[in-house]
Amino acid sequence: SSELTQDPAVSVALGQTVRITCQGDSLRRYYASWYQQKPGQAPLLVIYGKNNRPSGIPDRFSGSTSGNTASLTITGAQAEDEADYYCNSRDSSGNHLLFGGGTKLTVL
C-alpha cells in the first residue's frame, strides 16, 4: 500500500518515555525520517535512517524499525517536546514520498 499510519494523539508524563509509531508496507524496505512541528513553525528533522540525529537534536530522541513499523522514542520527555510529529518514507516505487498523518504529542 502507499500509506503511512500514525496514531492521531499520544500523551506522556513529564520525564517519562513515549513511543510514537508509524505503520506502512514501504517501511519494510525504506527507513522513515521523523519531523517535529510546533505551531506556526516549519517542520524540523529529528531522526533519519536507521537511527541518526541531525546536529543539535537531543539524544533523548531515537528511532527504530521492526517489520512494517517505525518508531520514534523520546526518553525523558520534556515540556518543549510537545508538538506534532510526522513520519516520512518512500512509496513502493521508491521515487515518491509519503507522510504519515501526524501524531500530536502532549506532555502532561
Partner 1 sequence: QVQLQESGPGLVKPSQTLSLTCTVSGGSISSGGYHWSWIRQHPGKGLEWIGYIYYTGITYYNPSLQSLVTISLDTSKNQFSLKLSSYTAPYTAVYYCARLKLEPHYFYMDVWGKGTTVTVSS
Residues that bind partner 1 (CB under 8 A): 29-31, 33, 35, 37, 42-45, 48-50, 54, 84, 86, 88, 90, 95-102
CB of 24 vs partner 1, minimal distance in Å: 14
CB of 27 vs partner 1, minimal distance in Å: 11
Q: Which is nearer to partner 1, 15 or 94 (CB)?
A: 94
Q: Which is nearer to partner 1, 4 or 18 (CB)?
A: 4
Q: Which is nearer to partner 1, 44 or 60 (CB)?
A: 44
- The residue to which cell 500509506 is assigned: 3
Q: How far apart are CA 24 and CA 82, in angstroms?
A: 24
Q: How far apart are CA 91 and CA 73, in angstroms?
A: 23
Q: How is residue 63 written as a grid cell?
A: 528511532
Q: Which is nearer to partner 1, 45 or 76 (CB)?
A: 45
CB of 28 vs partner 1, minimal distance in Å: 11
Q: Is 43 exposed, middle or buried (0-12, 13-18, 19+ CB in 10 A)?
A: middle
Q: How far apart are CA 20 and CA 95, in angstroms?
A: 25
